[in-house]
Structure 1
Amino acid sequence: MKEKFIQLMSASVKGISQVVFIENIISGLLILAGIAIYSIPLGLITIGSAITGTLVACICGADKKILKSGLFGFNSVLGGLAIYLFLEGPHKWIIALLCAGVTTIVTAALMNITKHFDMPILTFPYIILTWFFIGTSFRLSFIKPGANILPQNLINWERELDGPLDWHGLITGIGQVFFLDEILPAFFFLIAIFIASRRYGIYAIIGSVIGWLTALFLGGEITLINLGLYNYNAVLTMIAVTSVLEVKHKNAWITGIFASILSVQITASLDTFLLQYGLPVLTMPFVLSTWLIQNARKVFPNI
């Protein structure tokens, strides 16, 4: 019993680190510590979601190798965090953990579907489930939508282009992978990445800088740039395109930069489209950019 509990906790903590493509207990603990420093409740929902997702996979008979690596946990972690942050009411803890558990089943289903197309699921399962639960909140009184996700009319929408530029957005863009907008947690996340892989850490920094500069150059809203909301998808995209996916040449970093720039444009476009439905962009720009590059490589192997 004790051994099984240790294995469950190990896989759960790795599930936290797998959000940034890392299978490392120390990195997972550092990320969890960064989240807990920002907010104790968020730290609890993070580990609770990781355990719930991993436990559901275990009960359902998941492949032990995949289970131990934490690959059934990272979408649950993000799903639990998203629901807790975007919904309101006394039941959001229950709904967040429910979402974490259901996300594991959706992850398994999509794994089976996408393997026929030689494509990774990435964070797509949590995105779909989060949108589903948020959409449900507008119809069912048990689930209450937060004030920050209410549908908005684009006719009256005005961009906030003026205001002081804050370089902190360069760092908080890394923290926004876990929905956090403060520098200290972002440093914890960056250290966690460097501990597992110096290359991943360097690419995370490059991705954040590229996302920040691209948004600034293209005239993005200053408030969003300062919060790092144009960076985090670029961070994940840069790491995935240059290191995680099958790379056949040493110049993949050039493709990574292109994909990171593309993720910023997709972020702006999706944000505009989803705003009227009260849905957050989440990591969909990262998923779309990465899928695009991976499939392009099947035709153009030199990118």
Structure 2
Amino acid sequence: MPASALPASAVSAWAVAVLRGFGQVAFLRSAACGLLFAAALFAADWHYGAYGLLGCAAATAVAHALGLGGGAAAGVADAVDAVDAVESGLYGYNGCLAALACAVLLDPDRPATVAVAVLGAAVTVVLSAALGALLGPRRLPVLTAPFCLVATAVTVAAPGFRRLWPDPAAPAAALPAPAAGPGALTWDQLWHGFLADFGQVFLLPQWYCGLLVLAGLLAASRTAALTACAGSAIALLTAWALGAPGEQVGQGLYGYNGVLTALALCGACLPPGARSGAYALLGAAAATVLTPALGAIAAPSGGHAFTWPFVLTTLPFLAAVPAIPRLRPAQEPARS
């Protein structure tokens, strides 16, 4: 049915669900936040914005078509205030990131890239439901694991398809090797890196894109924005203390997993507070250390760690919470 034949309220609800999918990348059910996140993608390249919208819309449509509206039935770890999970963007954010990865890593002008982006977004819905069914009973969220699985598969498989990768003999561009000696960050690298940490959540190294992402966090929650800033700061401190190369730190390649980990462990999956805040900073530092390790493991396919460090740090930290008397989980996890 063409959009003109649909009630205005239905079109509006659909647009809000897609924008909430953008916001759920940072655990926020906010269309205003999602709008600023989408603006950050368009500020980097119109292809990125278009692919992000396409992936989020495709994933949302597939989730609706599969009847994954109810939280418990969909394998989501508890319904969110009985609000429809699809309308909350819980099935859209991984699709957004998966499609965006296709635009960033492949040629966005190729029809084959568009097809893979839509397919990848659809697959993230199935993976979200499957992982939700496995992790939900343990009160563990899916996070961005579906995106990581799809993006890693696309990165490894793309050179085998001529319509995706024109030169099968050419490997993906690997990240530069760390420089020898202690890291010495310049002022420009420091402030660029602080803002780029937010942009790299969406695979964007531009500082002004990170500024728009930070603005989106502020539009939804000042607490979330402050938590994310603390995660970025501790990631920068950790990277500097361990001698990370300043150029990569300035591009946000070491800090974005710290931002996501801090958001998850203080506010999203655990109630905000001094204890959970300290726990979140510990997790952010651990995710920062894990980032180059996973990048080195992925070096043959381009060295893309994606948000694996965030996922592989946050899940054990959350699994340990029941054994830590001074911490307690939030009453309802923020998302699948």
Q: TM-score, normalised by structure 2?
A: 0.83
* Preserved contact between residue 53 and residue 72 of structure 1 (Cα < 8 Å): yes
Q: How does 1:55-204 map to 2 (within 5 A)?
A: 55-63=61-69, 65-88=84-107, 90=110, 91-144=112-165, 149-150=172-173, 158-161=177-180, 165=186, 166-167=189-190, 168-204=192-228
* Preserved contact between residue 86 and residue 145 of structure 1 (Cα < 8 Å): no
Q: Could you tell me the percent identity over the aligned residues?
A: 26
Letter in 1 for 2:95: S
Q: CA deviation at 1:263?
A: 0.5
Which residue of structure 1 lines up, in the alignment, with residue 78 of structure 2?
Answer: none
Q: How does 1:1-303 map to 2 (within 5 A)?
A: 1-2=6-7, 3-63=9-69, 65-88=84-107, 90=110, 91-144=112-165, 149-150=172-173, 158-161=177-180, 165=186, 166-167=189-190, 168-247=192-271, 250-303=274-327
Distance in 2 of aligned mates of 1:53 and 1:260: 29
Distance in 2 of aligned mates of 1:148 and 1:195: 40
Letter in 2 for 1:50: C
* Preserved contact between residue 248 and residue 302 of structure 1 (Cα < 8 Å): no
Question: Mind listing any 5+ residue stretches in structure 2 that lack a counterpart?
Answer: 1-5, 71-83, 328-336
Letter in 2 for 1:81: L
In 2 relative to 1, CA 145–241 (structure 1 residues): closer, same or farther, beyond 3 Å?
A: farther
Q: CA deviation at 1:301?
A: 2.8
* Preserved contact between residue 266 and residue 273 of structure 2 (Cα < 8 Å): no
| Number of residue pairs matched by the alignment | 299
Distance in 2 of aligned mates of 1:163 and 1:243: 33
4+ aligned runs moved over 6 Å, structure 1: 145-148
Letter in 1 for 2:235: G
Q: TM-score, normalised by structure 1?
A: 0.92
Question: Hey, which of these two has a bigger chunk of helix by percent?
Answer: 1
The secondary structure found in structure 2 opposite 1:68 is coil
Letter in 1 for 2:99: G
Deviations 1:184-232 (A, max 9, x none): 2211111110111111000111111111111111011222111011110
Aligned-residue Cα RMSD (Å) equals 2.2
Question: Mind listing any 5+ residue stretches in structure 1 that lack a counterpart?
Answer: none
